[in-house]
């Protein structure tokens, strides 16, 4: 017995001695943001002398690390923050407490305040945040908004399949009804409310934070945030000298190169960061080749402790081919290209040449000058003056015989007049020959539908901290002028064109390339807004009350339909709107919190709805839309598990819609909709290196009433009043049930792999109310088949000499699942008459990023 005890004791001593060789102590602590005190999740802690010994922070920012020696130098690192070096002396266990990392971007805190970035367990809104690391790892060849597809109630697709052609729905609302902010500046089109993501294709390279605030959101401005707000914060200037280079390749000729460099913060207070990229490819869909550039420049100057100025300029000039028409499912299946089929192109001189609605070019630079004035320790005035002067448009076919090169929009099939080659391509050679031999010039030409604008704005925000109470107020002023016309781009074999659309021009005038045809009008929008918000915050309680008001004024100028004597310029038409919203959050304890919010929004009708058809006549039925919304949420947070859940309800009343079809125009007022649902998302980190995420959102979004509308002919004479049978029809083109399961695992030091499984269900086809004028149409729109898509990714970090490098690999739709993303309801509301776009099959990309 004594022998066994002695043996056991010796073994125990040996084990302790061996353990001592490998672990002399344990270090614990918590990493937080030095400015916001928010936990930094997934930050790296490792030995400076041996970076293979390390760990990462858990879901509340905490960490623990076994050290092989009593003395060590620890490195704390997190993307977007400055590395921190710390010497430690361990005797058993050492708790370092809260360790604060400083952001690597100069002035990013001030921008975040102005842009109303929400904070977990503090701001009472439902929100999800996307960090640049996730964009680098997951985005690949996807469109920028598609990075959000794993967040609750978001549905994003590539739509026409061209570069930058993505669209996004949030809680069933399209981009017209989602407020999009870049560095606090609203970018929704001032006339239509739309966001054209091709204008911002380069943003993924310079995004510091991308936050989706569902529902009311935290923005203080009077925005069109019916569904929510997408808040994008770009890089400012890097505090440390350096940069990075990225090169990548992918399927179908995809290639991308990007370069970023920064001077760092110099001793004289100046700092400059610049970034640029070029992306080209042939496109997954037939004839969707593209070329896109992007640029970003930030120049900052710290004048003194109170004043800092920052100049930011960014843009993404691009051109791309795309699909212009959806097709019947049976036509895809019968075509040799199947789901890659594009009916909207032909060949000219042996090169791809796309037809109507199948080519786009645009450049929308945005420049802002920002001044941040720290009046005292508790008061800051931030002012941004910005401008955007865009140029670009999309291809159209125009003329007496434009049907030669057009596809029927209703069923995606050629018309009787459509000219096709034996291979089924648009026959440009036929049109060129006909135009060359025509007696009165070209009867079908290529024109560009120009949609350019000048946009000027000022946004000034004063923030005053008074202990637990913070008061914020400011002004939001904007002026916008949009230019709309057709410009002849190619006479297609003819030497001139005749056009009678301009009453101020002799119809026998021979028009050349660059001349305007069809229409030429201007839309002006004058916006003046004010806002005031009070926030109360303690460690346990937080609440806010926000009010805003705006005057939205429209003026239209038409140079083609009216003579100067008749009056080409309208008076200003003004609408007055306001928003009231509030919410509160209660941190029950360190792990649990609940929140509630509610609001009432009035919104002016969009420019298009304020005038009848494409005329200068005011729409007397146009009135403010009214939105009531609210939600209740719960959160749980521990070191290994985070859970967020909420329920919401939105009632949208008096939505206005103006639809044009052929020579007819329909004015549809008073449309009502009801959206409600539940959203759940969770993150779980059971062991070091393994991250599991999940999401489920279930909504019920539908139109609540049948409506009456008036139809007008091309002379704006009333044809009659009709019923649109849309009661109980589901909102279209947005999956009402979505789910996601994601896993990321560090299988080896510096090697991470990930997989994301996304489910989209209860997705109904979009529809036109003017096509539902018979009582038999009182049925739901056709429902798309459910879809489940698997994406995988990996990245490996290593050294190239003294430089940090990362190799990325991504595959989207790994299983090559066939699925439909977009659909338009047919006249029989079934699978046989709906026209659709298919999603992409398997695509891939690989890239290398080197930091210097």
For the chain, which residues score pLDDT lower than 70? 1-23, 660-663, 714-716
Q: Are residues 467 and 553 in the same domain?
A: yes
Q: Are residues 69 and 126 in the same domain?
A: no
Q: Are residues 623 and 506 in the same domain?
A: yes
Q: Are residues 329 and 351 in the same domain?
A: yes
* Terminal-residue alpha carbon distance, the chain: 65
Q: Are residues 728 and 791 in the same domain?
A: yes
340 within some domain: yes
Nearest to 296 by CA among 277, 280, 278: 277
Domain boundary at 201, 234, 267, which?
A: 234
Domain boundary at 191, 213, 234, which?
A: 234
Q: Are residues 574 and 609 in the same domain?
A: yes
15 within some domain: no
How high is the pLDDT of residue 198? 85
pLDDT tens, position by position, 490-518 = 999 999 999 999 999 999 999 999 999 99
Q: Are residues 569 and 649 in the same domain?
A: yes
469 within some domain: yes
Interior angle at CA 207, CA 205 and CA 211, nearest 5: 140
Nearest to 237 by CA among 184, 308, 341: 308
7 within some domain: no
Q: Are residues 410 and 264 in the same domain?
A: yes
Residues ≥6 apart with Cβ < 8 Å to 542? 122, 123, 124, 535, 536, 584, 585
Tokens of 639: 């070191």
Nearest to 182 by CA among 327, 55, 314: 314
What is the span of the domain harbouring residue 60? 20-101
Residue with tokens 């069923």: 411
Residues ≥6 apart with Cβ < 8 Å to 541? 584, 585, 586, 587
Distance CA 102, CA 839 (A): 42
Give one DSSP letter per residue of 275-290, joined into a string: EEEEEEE--SSTT--E
pLDDT tens, position by position, 788-799 = 999 999 999 999
How high is the pLDDT of residue 738? 98
Q: How many domains does the chain have?
A: 3
92 within some domain: yes
| 459 within 8 A of 423, measured Cβ to Cβ | no
767 within some domain: yes
Residue with tokens 């084990």: 15
CATH number of the CATH domain containing 424: 2.40.170.20
| 385 within 8 A of 368, measured Cβ to Cβ | yes
Domain boundary at 234, 259, 293, which?
A: 234
How high is the pLDDT of residue 225? 82
93 within some domain: yes
Residues ≥6 apart with Cβ < 8 Å to 601? 225, 226, 577, 579, 581, 626, 627, 628, 629
How high is the pLDDT of residue 187? 92
**Alpha carbon 615 to chain centroid distance?**
32
CATH number of the CATH domain containing 113: 2.170.130.10
Tokens of 477: 């002023």
343 within some domain: yes
Q: Are residues 738 and 830 in the same domain?
A: yes
Nearest to 386 by CA among 310, 316, 318: 310
Give one DSSP letter per residue of 821-851, joined into a string: EEEE--TT-STTT-EEEEPP--EEEEEEEEE
Tokens of 91: 């005797």
Q: Are residues 357 and 475 in the same domain?
A: yes
Q: Are residues 487 and 555 in the same domain?
A: yes
Give one DSSP letter per residue of 327-347, joined into a string: EEHHHHHHSTTGGG---SEEE
How high is the pLDDT of residue 714? 61
Q: Is the Cα torsion angle 809, 182, 282, 408 positive or negative in sign?
A: positive
Q: Are residues 453 and 552 in the same domain?
A: yes
């Amino acid at each position: 017995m004594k022998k066994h005890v002695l043996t056991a004791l010796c073994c125990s001593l040996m084990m302790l001695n061996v353990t001592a060789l490998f672990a002399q102590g344990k270090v614990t602590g918590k990493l937080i943001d030095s400015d916001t005190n928010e936990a930094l999740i997934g930050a790296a802690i490792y030995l400076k002398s041996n970076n293979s010994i390390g760990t990462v922070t858990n879901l509340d920012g905490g960490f623990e690390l076994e050290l092989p020696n009593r003395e060590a130098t620890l490195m704390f690192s997190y993307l977007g923050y400055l590395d921190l070096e710390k010497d430690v002396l361990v005797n058993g266990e050492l708790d370092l407490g809260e360790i604060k990392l400083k952001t690597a971007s100069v002035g990013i805190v001030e921008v975040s305040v102005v842009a109303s970035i929400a904070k977990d367990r503090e701001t009472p809104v439902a929100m999800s945040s996307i960090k640049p690391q996730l964009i680098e790892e997951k985005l690949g060849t996807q469109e920028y908004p598609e990075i959000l597809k794993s967040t609750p109630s978001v549905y994003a697709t590539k739509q026409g399949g061209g570069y930058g052609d993505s669209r996004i729905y949030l809680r069933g609302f399209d981009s017209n009804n989602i407020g999009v902010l870049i560095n606090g500046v609203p970018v929704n089109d001032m006339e239509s409310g739309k966001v054209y993501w091709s204008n911002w294709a380069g943003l993924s390279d310079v995004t510091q934070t991308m936050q989706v605030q569902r529902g009311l959101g935290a923005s203080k401005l009077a925005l069109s945030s019916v569904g929510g707000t997408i808040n994008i914060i770009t890089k400012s200037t890097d505090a440390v000298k350096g940069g990075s280079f990225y090169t990548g390749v992918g399927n179908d000729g995809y290639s991308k190169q990007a370069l970023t460099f920064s001077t760092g913060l110099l001793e004289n207070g100046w700092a400059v960061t610049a970034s640029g990229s070029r992306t080209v490819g042939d496109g997954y869909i037939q004839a969707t080749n593209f070329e896109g550039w992007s640029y970003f420049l930030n120049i900052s100057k710290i004048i003194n402790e109170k004043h800092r100025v920052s100049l930011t300029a960014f843009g993404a000039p691009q051109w791309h081919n795309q699909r212009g028409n959806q097709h019947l499912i049976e036509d895809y299946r019968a075509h040799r290209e199947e789901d890659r089929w594009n009916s909207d192109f032909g060949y000219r001189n042996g090169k791809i040449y796309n037809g109507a609605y199948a080519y786009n070019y645009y450049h929308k630079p945005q420049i802002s000058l920002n001044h941040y004035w720290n009046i005292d320790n508790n008061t800051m005035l931030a002012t941004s003056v910005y401008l955007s002067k865009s140029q670009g448009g999309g291809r159209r076919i125009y003329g007496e015989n434009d049907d030669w090169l057009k596809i029927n929009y209703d069923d995606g099939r050629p018309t009787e007049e459509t000219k096709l080659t034996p291979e089924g391509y648009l026959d440009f050679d036929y049109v060129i020959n006909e135009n060359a031999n025509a007696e009165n010039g070209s009867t079908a030409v290529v024109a560009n539908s120009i949609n350019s604008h000048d946009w000027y704005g000022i946004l000034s925000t004063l923030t005053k901290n008074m202990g637990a109470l913070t008061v914020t107020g400011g002004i939001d002023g904007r002026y916008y002028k949009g230019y709309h016309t057709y410009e002849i781009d190619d006479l297609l074999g003819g030497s001139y064109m005749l056009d009678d659309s301009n009453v101020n021009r002799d119809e026998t005038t021979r028009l050349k390339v660059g001349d305007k045809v069809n229409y030429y009008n201007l839309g002006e929008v004058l916006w003046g807004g004010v806002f005031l918000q009070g926030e109360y915050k303690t460690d346990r309680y937080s609440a806010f009350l926000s009010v805003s008001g705006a005057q939205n004024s429209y003026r239209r100028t038409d140079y083609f339909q009216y003579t100067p004597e008749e009056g080409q310029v309208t008076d200003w038409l003004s609408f007055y709107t306001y928003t009231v919203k509030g919410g509160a959050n209660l941190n029950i304890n360190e792990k649990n919190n609940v929140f509630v919010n509610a609001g009432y929004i009035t919104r002016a009708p969009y420019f298009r709805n304020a005038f009848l058809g494409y005329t200068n006549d005011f729409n007397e039925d146009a009135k403010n839309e009214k939105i009531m919304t609210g939600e209740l949420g719960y959160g749980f947070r521990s070191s290994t598990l985070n859970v967020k859940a909420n329920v919401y309800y939105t009632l949208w009343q008096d939505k206005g819609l103006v639809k044009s079809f052929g020579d007819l125009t329909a004015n549809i007022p008073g449309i009502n909709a009801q959206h409600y649902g539940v959203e759940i998302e969770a993150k779980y980190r059971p062991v070091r290196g393994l991250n599991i995420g999940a999401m489920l959102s279930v909504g019920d979004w539908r139109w609540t009433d049948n409506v009456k509308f008036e139809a007008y002919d091309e002379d704006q004479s009333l044809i009659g009043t009709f019923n649109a049978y849309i009661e109980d029809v589901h909102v279209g083109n947005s999956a009402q049930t979505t789910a996601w399961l994601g896993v990321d695992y560090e299988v080896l030091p510096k090697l991470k792999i990930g997989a994301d499984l996304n489910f989209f269900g209860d997705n109904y086809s979009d529809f036109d109310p003017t096509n539902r004028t018979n009582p038999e149409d009182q049925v739901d729109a056709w429902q798309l088949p459910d879809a489940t898509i698997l994406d995988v990714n990996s990245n490996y970090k290593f050294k190239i000499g003294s430089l940090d490098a990362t190799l990325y690999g991504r595959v989207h739709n790994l299983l090559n699942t066939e699925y439909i993303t977009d659909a338009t309801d047919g006249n029989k509301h079934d699978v046989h008459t709906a026209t659709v776009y298919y999603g992409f099959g398997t695509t891939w990309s690989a890239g290398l990023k080197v930091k210097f």
